[in-house]
Chain A
Amino acid sequence: MHRDDSIRRQIDRLGQLLATEDGAQVLAHMQKLALRTRRVPAPVEAGTSHPRERGPGARLGVWLPDGETPGRWARDPHVKNDWRRWADVPAIAPKANRPRVLLLGESTARGYLYDPVVTPARLLERELARDDSRSPQVVDLARIGMPLSELPDLVSGLERLEPDAVVLFAGNNWANADYTVADLDRLAGVLSEGGYPAVHRAFWELVLRPRVQAFLGHFARTVGRLGIPGVVIVPEFNLRSWRPEPSVLAPILAQGRNRAWRQAHRAARAAAHRGDWHAGLEQAMAMRELDEGTSAMAPWLAGEACVALGWHEEARSWFEAARDDTCGLFLAHTPRCPGPVQEMMRETGARLGLRVVDLPALFRRAAPEGIPGRELFLDYCHLTLEGHGLAARAAAEEVLAAWDRPILARRPLTVELDPADEARAHVLAAIHNAHYGQARETLDHHCRTALKLAPSAGGELAAFLDFEARRAPAWMCGSYARFCEAPAVERYLAATVPRMVDKLADFSLRAAMAEALDDGGLPGAREGEAVLEDEHGTGPVDLLAYRWRCTTFRERTGYARSPEKAYVQSFDDRARHFLVRRVPEDLRLRITCRVPGGDVTEPVRVLVNGHLAGEVAALGRWLTADLKVPASAVRSGVNHVDVLWPDSTPPWRTEIERAVSRLDRGEAPDVLAVAGELHQLRALPGGGADG
């Protein structure tokens, strides 16, 4: 202990000097330096092996060795919360007298949206099957959301299952990296020097490449030590039919370029709307020049223009850029395997003696115009039956070649599936696509495909329209229980997730479902609307609640990995909110808003169903206003309340400095340029007192 008063006085003085944001950064840097130079054990880097749970009784995934039957594994009841993430395998039987192939991977390897009715493991087993009792057995060890950091442990334990080959179908989750303190430190320097474009470029070399190479090396060494073949399937992305989430626009750009970027974005959208594809391409390229490859929106718009112009090779390149440009910016994004990772898997895999199934090349050959889309994908990365069939056949060929066994006479590639199960996959795909910001046309496609495959899907669409409309969480609704009778639906239920209580603004999805039902002459649409109006059509409404403003999961949780805020940020120049009324009525809208970087001349405009309800001065500080909305502007059913933000220049220097500070402190930065912020938006009936 330090009894000396002079020490205490000195510490007091130091504390005062360091009690600022700069002081916190200084202290954080001193700590990090000390930790690095004193060789205090640092957090384990992802992609390396973790020496834990290695004993003979240790768990592998969610399975434990069965104490009574040697070689048998059963699910551990102590981790029941985790069961749903892993393959639907209650027990792994003893190996017996058959070659055993292990399938590791992520949700694509689970057969997401088909699982457990169809799984890649079963398809692979079918492709490997022989006409005798020695047909290989495929053990399904796939796990949804499997992060790169947990794969090494699983690989280290595979020996205990006595495999004869291992197939790895992973890589879509690797770009959603968990950053170490050292990563953040390095990237802080990069951000400070070159902004987000530099961070995006540095991400591959500084963060992702070492991890992927470390893991692939570990995998190759493990299968090499066991003397068995290892097959790596390189994942592909839905290049043609996946659009970036509409709200994920551009990060903060240096020199205040976000303002020009927004203007070009508006011009590009307008050009696309009127079918002027040359102009659209020009504006998209202008956007990309401004953002230096840090927004998926610019290349995606360019790709769409090129498709319309018939320039398919160029379109493919643009769509690949759209796939990759979101990565490495501290933004949460849908799973994907970006080009640099695909290349690492091909190159490193081949160099280390692994067998590589190149899905990008395979799908290029299989897809119309060489750009894989919805014929091979249900969403961003999860495959259709056709996609799974191609992947399973290619993987089986590699396994058989490695075993030096002949490729047997081929069965048809088509996977036999009950039309009701296939229809259900499309119902689920419609929901999933909606929650990741896909266009109405995509939702229509899945809803109508489902009904075309099996009219019984109409019951599922109607059930969705019912439980989605209710205040109760989905799992509490009778209609949801009926929906969940199908195992493929029940599989993904997780009520501990708050979204099960707080629903999303599924109005585009509801409209797609309702129209598909009506067009098919099936019931459910009107009933669903009646429930919606009954549950929500009266009284005051907090329009900042998730279900009135968030059409996607990311709009709810935030795109950046920084902590959630107590207010709402808009990244686009329009923030749409939904309001349900049973009958038209006078309303008062109470709004509290501000525009970062304000004050600007143009006001914030609030529209109700396209009619101007009022304007609020666009200030850099919060301002509260009450806007009266006459009943004539309100309609029965779903109303749109749009907040239109004026163009402003974000305080980019401050924002980038703030982001660097956050990284220095080990926190994720806010990344996207903010158009406007809302602390309050309430609809109060009658224009009267607050409710």
Chain B
Amino acid sequence: MNVVGISAYYHDAACAVLRDGRLVASAQEERFSRRKHDPSLPRSAFRYCLAEAGLDITDIDCIAYYESPTLKLTRQLWAGLPDFPPTAPEALFRLDASRPEREIRELLGYEGRIESVDHHEAHAASAFFCSGFDEAALFTADGVGEWATTSYGRAGAEGLDLFEEVRFPHSLGLLYSAVTAFLGFAVNSDEYKVMGLAPYGRPRYVDQVWQLVEDHPGGQYRLAERYFDFIRGTRMFSEALCELFGSPPREPDSEITPFAEDVAHSLQIVLEEMMLRKVRWLHDQVPLADLCLAGGVALNCVANGQVRRRGPFRRVFVQPAAGDAGGSVGAAALVHRRLSGVVHRPEALVHVHLGPSYDPAEVRALLAAGTVATLEFSNKDDLCHHVAQRLAEGEVVGWFHGRMEFGPRALGARSILADPRRPEMRDRINALVKRREAFRPFAPSVLEEEADRHFDLDVRSPFMLETCQVRSPLELPAVTHIDGSARVQTVSAGDSPRFHRLLRAFADLTGCPVLLNTSFNLRGEPIVCTPVDAVLCFIRSDIDCLVLEDTVLERAAIPPSWIEWFRDTQPGPSTPDREMVYTFL
């Protein structure tokens, strides 16, 4: 049985394919369209997934959609009251519960069965069916799906049951997003920046943040609605929030002040405390050893670490694509189970290399078309040794290998790598490569077998979804956050052989089995997908060398014409159609 999962129309649209219950391909539409967080129906990802799975459209037994359009419509209508329907200009045409099915028919051309599952069910399933757990408690939290914003449940051989939920407008995700907006960052995009900012601050506004959210018995909580404006307004927060914090909102891209750091810090404390309280209550209801986490809030890896270390569950699995993209996987898994009646023991997801790959020969042919000089390696060890040497010499390397990652993290397939021991590396990459805010930390990737010598981490962390304290005998300033923490990826030889080989080569050379690993993209750009995306990112940045599969491209070897054409240009999606008339090639 072949089931395709689709998530779309909010942010991070994605497609996933399950063949006989096994996840064989998934990808976010933004990687193909080059439009960050692209919410549109994933046409390119759909075609890619079918091709990767060796299917044509007549082979699909069902398309599973990741939320209930009808329930979502009722929430939208309710939120607009007393206007009926809501009439803000930005709400125009958004009240359309028929759109998912209509566009799956018209734009994907699919004629067969379509099933939808509830949004939080999709989140929960995306975690449980990838966890490898026989049974587990389920905790999902995001901004909002249909009505639910936080859900509690259990899953096992009998299926998946969400037995309690917190409903819109009360939402931990919206709480975090509203403060994110107040701090001048983009909603549904930059929440992780607030998380990164938090350790710089002090808990000066914890009391104020607790005035925003009130804990209730059981799994419930309530937002103090007067501080928010996401229901009918055009911004997330009200003037009352500004009064509460005694400050106007921060202007986007303006200087980061201690005030912003303190608010971020206080918000993070409250979020972690709320999650811990609710997870403890969940454990009372579902006294199992294992917990599955999903939903956008589960991308808060600092809170995840707290839940695992201070919470009642022995093991915690977080869906690597915990946001809406992962909903495509969960929807497909639930519908597969629903239609097939087959109860698979959930297989543990060991890697997220579920996207497109490119043959090394194809890469060679690509670069051979130009006048660019390259180094070719037929031996993987030689390649890794060469790259390790350059990293040790302080170079920043663009690393492109194998199938693209699914989810928001670069995990060694589309990564920018550097030596974490160099104090200047963080500022260099922040300023010259990523062109992003200087306060944001970089993450380390470490050989799995040596992880515990450098990080206070007693479990594998292949998906970079948890922070822990750095306890390395080495100085690792470029990946150690101001509070001594790091968001670690452990790399095993079995799951990521070439990346592991590179880390080993670097360790052999330097005694340091750790590399700085950040996603291969510029600010505002999705992670690169194709070798051409990677070359363009390389040209536009100050990365020293680019490793495309078995080929190494030097910065000095970039033809001057490429620099002339693309340096200082912005990455982005296609030019509007009218403009395209005038590019004649």
Contacts and interface: CB of A to CB of B under 8 A. Distances in A.
Interface of A: 1-2, 7-8, 11-12, 14-16, 18-21, 23-24, 27-28, 30-32, 34-35, 38, 40-43, 77, 80-81, 85, 107, 112, 144-145, 147, 173, 176, 181, 332, 334-335, 428, 431-432, 435, 467, 470-478, 481, 484, 490, 492-501, 535, 542, 553, 557, 561, 563-567, 590, 592, 621-624, 665-667, 677, 679-680, 690
Contacts of B216: none
A161 B58 CA distance: 63
A330 to B, nearest CB: 13
B85 A27 contact: yes
Given A30-B85, A475-B565, A677-B109, A496 B574 contact: yes
Interface string B519-541: 00000000000101001100000
Contacts, number: 224
A473 B78 CA distance: 50
Q: Which 10 residue pairs are nearest across A and B when measured between Cβ atoms?
A: A15-B74, A472-B369, A19-B97, A34-B87, A24-B96, A19-B70, A21-B98, A27-B95, A566-B43, A478-B371
Contacts of A621: 111
B77 A77 contact: no
B148 to A, nearest CB: 14
A59 B30 CA distance: 32
Nearest to B107: A565
Given A16-B70, A145-B578, A31 B54 contact: no
B108 interface: yes
B293 to A, nearest CB: 29
Interface string B329-367: 000000000000000000000000000000000100111
A497 B580 contact: yes
B92 interface: yes
B570 interface: yes
Nearest to A106: B582
Contact of A1 (B97, B169, B570): B169
A38 B91 CA distance: 15
A469 to B, nearest CB: 10
Given A472-B369, A495-B566, A665-B96, A622 B583 contact: no
B369 A470 contact: yes
Interface of B: 40-41, 43-44, 46-47, 51, 54, 56-58, 69-71, 73-74, 77-78, 81, 83-89, 91-93, 95-99, 102-103, 106-109, 111, 169, 225, 362, 365-367, 369-372, 530, 532, 535-536, 559, 561-562, 565-566, 568-575, 577-585
Contacts of B54: 690
B532 A24 contact: no
A499 B98 contact: no
Given A7-B81, A31-B91, A566-B107, 16 more contacts: A23-B97, A28-B92, A28-B96, A34-B87, A77-B568, A144-B582, A476-B369, A495-B566, A564-B107, A565-B43, A565-B108, A665-B96, A667-B93, A679-B56, A679-B57, A680-B56
24 contacts: A11-B81, A15-B77, A15-B97, A20-B97, A23-B97, A24-B95, A30-B84, A31-B92, A32-B92, A41-B89, A42-B89, A145-B579, A467-B369, A472-B365, A484-B561, A492-B582, A493-B585, A501-B532, A553-B580, A557-B577, A564-B107, A566-B108, A566-B109, A592-B56
Contact of B109 (A85, A500, A622): A622
A667 B578 CA distance: 18
B58 A623 contact: yes
A564 B43 contact: yes
A6 to B, nearest CB: 12
A686 to B, nearest CB: 17
- Residue of B86, B572, B583, B585 with most partner-chain A CB within 10 A: B585
Nearest to B530: A501
Contacts of A19: 69-70, 73, 97-98
Nearest to A590: B56
Nearest to B78: A11
Given A28-B92, A471-B362, A499 B70 contact: no
A481 B58 contact: no
B331 to A, nearest CB: 18
Contacts of A592: 56-58
Contacts of B583: 492-494, 497, 499-500
A499 to B, nearest CB: 7
Contacts of A472: 365-367, 369-370, 532
Contacts of B530: 501
Contact of A473 (B41, B43, B532): B532
Contacts of B575: 494, 496-497
Contacts of A28: 92-93, 95-96
Contacts of B71: 15
Contacts of B73: 15, 18-19
A592 B58 CA distance: 8
Contacts of A679: 56-57, 109
